[in-house]
Amino acid sequence: MLKKKMLKALNDQINAEMFSSYLYLSMESYFQSISLSGFAAWMRAQVQEELMHGMKFYGFVNERGGKVTLEAIAKPESAWDSPLAAFLAIQKHEEHVTDLINNLVDLAISEKDHATNNFLQWFVSEQVEEEASVAEVVEKLKLIQDNPSGLFMMDAELGKRVFTMPATPAT
């Protein structure tokens, strides 16, 4: 059974994951509007990944006998000055999510909730991957700067990303 403080924090994380999905959906729309369909496809895969993260938390709360309480999802931004600006926003957002996950781990440790701490370790590793993936795109966008050829090549590269459900079942 989850303690009250842990349950509240996990419910807050469900909302944060759903917001992340909503933010990436908004970014997908932005990239579609500027005819960068590969960037948009990358975002669509990210939308699905964030939804899966939210559902992992949802399943875990239910499995531990807690009640999921869904709250309103904040309105995301809808326009950025450039693809680089969008990915810098993603980088900042993923660093924020990493902080949220780390805070959950700290809470699980302080509450001596070993099951939740164990569950959260998947997300700790996932955030390392998320930050590295975004940082790579940011660095490439910085290299190409305003070069249209480079941007179109990057669009083609990002368009190859496809979401695949992880092998481990979503709790």
Give the mean pLDDT per block of 10 residues along the chain (171 residues): 96 98 98 97 96 97 97 97 97 98 98 98 96 97 93 95 71 53
Q: What is the pLDDT of residue 146?
A: 84
Q: What is the pLDDT of residue 162?
A: 82
Q: What is the pLDDT of residue 2?
A: 95
What CA–CA distance (Å, rounded) separates 12 from 24? Answer: 19
Residue in 53, 42, 49, 62 with CA at minimum distance from that of residue 15: 53
Question: In order of start, what are the domains of the chain with their CATH numbers?
Answer: 4-158 (1.20.1260.10)
Q: What is the pLDDT of residue 18?
A: 98
What CA–CA distance (Å, rounded) separates 135 from 98? Answer: 14
Q: What is the pLDDT of residue 168?
A: 60
Q: Write 67-74 long-range contacts (CB < 8 A, 24+).
A: 67/7, 68/11, 68/14, 69/11, 70/11, 70/14, 70/15, 71/11, 71/15, 73/15, 73/18, 73/19, 73/22, 74/19, 74/22
Q: What is the pLDDT of residue 1?
A: 87
Q: What is the pLDDT of residue 163?
A: 80
Helices (H), the chain: 4-33, 37-63, 83-110, 114-144, 148-158
Q: What is the pLDDT of residue 85?
A: 97
pTM for the whole structure = 0.92
Token pair of 143 as six digits: 């290299």
Please enumerate in sequence order all residues whose Cβ is within 8 A of that of 36, keeping only pairs 6 or more positions apart, or say none.
83, 151, 155
